Amino acid sequence: MIFTDFVFYILASILLFAGMRVITSRNPVHSALNLVLAFFTAAGIWVLLQAEFLAIALLVVYVGAVMVLFLFVVMMLDINLDKLREGFWDYLPVAGFIGVLMAGEMVLILGSNHFAIITAVEKSAGYSNTAELGHVMYTQYLLPFELASVVLLVAIIAAIALTLRDRKETKSINPSQQVKVKRADRIRIVKVKSETEVAEVIEPAPTDKPRGIK
């Protein structure tokens, strides 16, 4: 066994452990932290396959942004843990069967070399992983990429529409009314009569003798 195979098996074991802890942990914050660990180990596997751009994107986008948002949301919400975990173990046998079935299908798709490790092909010195990924994505897989973007856009709009509620205590502005606003509705020019202040002249106090005469 070469060194890269040994590193792969270690990272794969950590990834499986972290994935199991995500769904079995009773604390949602612990689940989110285990998901961060799973992302880190997945990025390490991408590095073994010489896909450095995907590894960095996984760390920056998911660990640096998405998981931080998850942690803030989980810590800000008042979650009833007992109600959240109610009935979880009742569905475990069915979920385990489906998981094993999906794993078997993946093994069949892989072909004869079921658990063979995919070794990275040596590239030239001027090879760019980012440029090659962009070329393949925007030429061969352009249609799936556009479909994925449309699905994500629909999901964002649906999430906003489902969570948007009109409340009396919140101050909201109707965008259509805001667009129709004219200058006369916001500004009123009032003519005010000008007034001139007269400066008060202070006379000097009278003296007995004129100045310069002793």
Neighbours of 44 (CB within 10 A): 19
Which pLDDT belongs to residue 87? 66
* Residue-averaged pLDDT of the chain: 77
Mean pLDDT of 32-49: 87
Name the residue with tokens 């180990």: 41
Rounded to an integer, the average pLDDT of 81-102 is 72
Arithmetic mean of pLDDT, 129-148:
87
Residue 143: Cβ within 10 Å count: 8
**196: exposed, middle or buried (C-beta count within 10 Å: 0-12, 13-18, 19+)?**
exposed
d(CA 54, CA 67): 17
Q: Report the candidate in 123, 115, 133 with the shortest Cα–Cα distance to residue 8.
A: 115
Rounded Cα–Cα distance for residues 46 and 40 (Å): 10
In sequence order, which residues have a C-beta less than 8 Å from that of residue 7 and are 6 or more positions away?
Answer: 44, 48
- pLDDT for 98-128, tens place per residue? 778 877 766 766 555 545 555 556 667 777 7
Q: Is 28 within 8 Å of 84 (Cβ atoms)?
A: yes
Burial class, 55, CB count within 10 angstroms (exposed 0-12 / middle 13-18 / buried 19+): buried
Whether residue 40 contacts residue 46, with contact meaning beta carbons closer than 8 Å, is answered with no
Position with higher pLDDT, 60 vs 173: 60
- Token reading at 20: 């199991």
Q: Report pLDDT for 157.
A: 92
Q: What is the mean pLDDT of residues 128-148?
A: 87
Contacts of 114 (CB under 8 A, 6+ apart): 107
Residue 147 pLDDT: 93
Give the whole-number percent of the chain exceeding pLDDT 70.
73
Lowest-confidence pick of 25-29, 59-63, 112-116, 190-194: 112-116
Q: Which two tokens stand for residue 61?
A: 């986008």
Give tens-digit pLDDT for 43-83: 888 888 888 888 888 888 888 877 777 777 777 766 666 66
pLDDT (0 to 100) of residue 150: 94
